[in-house]
Copies of this chain bind each other. A is one copy, B any other.
Amino acid sequence: MLRIVIADDHRLFAEGLADALNSVPDMRVVGVVGDGNELAGFLERQPADVVLLDLEMPGGGMEALRRLPAGVPALMVTMHATPEVYRDAVKRGAQGVLSKSVPLAMLAAAVRAAADGKTLPWSATELEAELAVYSSPKLDPGAAALTAREIEILELLARGISSTEELAERLYISQKTVKNHLASIFQKLSVSDRTQAAIEAIRLGIAKPK
């Protein structure tokens, strides 16, 4: 799970992006700050794996970038992505620069790459090639341990198929087998009933409600 801090004074953008990133299975936004001067202090109290910085913000995006604690990967996200901005940002320690016009999936990939310590290239073609590796979420170890059948059951569960009887019917297996799978799921997800399992499945992005 990658912990992300967003530094952007445009609250609609920041809050929206936070929601969007939280719906990506392997990411969690742990903080939003609206002022570049607050960022360094905030990161002392709240460790993060990646910081997303707006270029245009109070306190200055470039300035905030320069004052980041060493070793914290940062991505500059800006309306005005130019080669000059890229050069300056990378010189000051950023892992890359992204336009606010890129799709969410590309940002997610870039965040994974940044967390991995990669410095992203500027050119669009190289960038796409680089990010292809990071396109899919690195799921939690817990989630990864789930078997195919278990995931299938979780998907149904998250869609509201909650009774043992109906689950068994949908999967053409006995109710006993369903209960066995569920018991295994509970253990792997560290939960104690199917309600918590459904919530956890939704939270992990394994399954979506409806």
State which size class the interface on A falls in: 35 or more
Residue of chain B at shortest CB distance from A56: B79
User: Of B15, B79, B202, which one neighbours A79 at CB under 8 angstroms?
Assistant: B79
A162 to B12, Cβ gap below 8 A? no
Q: Give chain B residues whose Cβ lies under 8 Å from the Cβ of A18.
A: 16, 20
Contact code string A4-17 (vs B, CB < 8 Å = 1, else 0): 00000111110111
A12 to B17, Cβ gap below 8 A? yes
CA distance A11 to B81 in the complex (A): 14
A77 touches B (CB below 8 Å): yes
A196 to B162, Cβ gap below 8 A? yes
CA distance A196 to B10 in the complex (A): 37
Q: Assess A79 versus B10: contact at CB under 8 Å? Given A19-B23, A20-B20, A160-B200.
A: yes
